Amino acid sequence: MAKYDVMIIDDDLFDIRKAEKALRGIPQMGEVKSYTKAIDGFNAIIECPPDVLLLDVEMSDMSGLDLYLTLPVDKRPPVILYTKTEKYSYKGIKIAVADYLIKPVSFPDLYIAFKRALEQKNITVKIDLEIEPSGKWFKFKNTDRFIKFCDVVAIESIKNYVIFHLRQAEDDFEYRLTMEQAEQFVPKRTFVRVHRGFIVNTDFTTKIVDKTFVLPDRPDLQLKVSDVGLKRLYNMN
């Protein structure tokens, strides 16, 4: 099977680690190189252009769009733009990006974007992917609510209920559900039960200190991990 190299340029190391994890799940993935400084990524592309470029738009030292347009035309690889807002999507269309993704990126979206990028080089790859649901509808007394799994940081058990902790604390909500039921419908690729009372989305975790997760998006949460949970995390990687 042919392998194809990807370069990531993003000034957020946490987002880089999440993207690297997703990319390494792609069977056709070759080498993945990452840069947190735009100028370092620029120089690396000039020296040896990757097959596909995953490029953050909003960086502190230089816009991803400006970086790409500064490259000599013959050095511009197919590019996937990714950022936390949709406001640059029209500019992306104007420079013929392969895809435009909103952070945090999911594995299926990144896999499909990778395929589209290679198609710009007249390379066709077969996607061997079982698409997991992107979210779930929850029924309440007066309304229904759709929750995207990519927005769920963690699920916490409280007696006969669970609390869905989302990226924004004000969006958290309780639902009558068991942890076993929650485990059945969340994506197995990113969610793991790390404690009797916690299921965590590993896309939001950076490290564990004193058996407690560090969650940059939700520093208010104190999520413990058990010895069994540590083994489950190890087996995911």
CB 98 within 8 A of CB 82: no
In a domain, 124, yes or no: no
In a domain, 125, yes or no: no
Q: Is there a single domain that holds both residue 59 and residue 163?
A: no
pLDDT of res. 78: 95
Q: Is there a single domain that holds both residue 115 and residue 9?
A: yes
pLDDT of res. 66: 92
> Distance between CA 79 and CA 68 in Å, rounded?
8
What CATH number should be reported for the domain holding residue 90? Answer: 3.40.50.2300
Positions in the chain whose pLDDT score sits under 70: 128-131, 236-237
Q: Which residue has the tokens 């520093």?
A: 219
Q: Is there a single domain that holds both residue 92 and residue 153?
A: no
Name the nearest CA neighbour of 174 among 186, 152, 195, 158: 158
pTM of the model: 0.68
Q: Is there a single domain that holds both residue 113 and residue 35?
A: yes
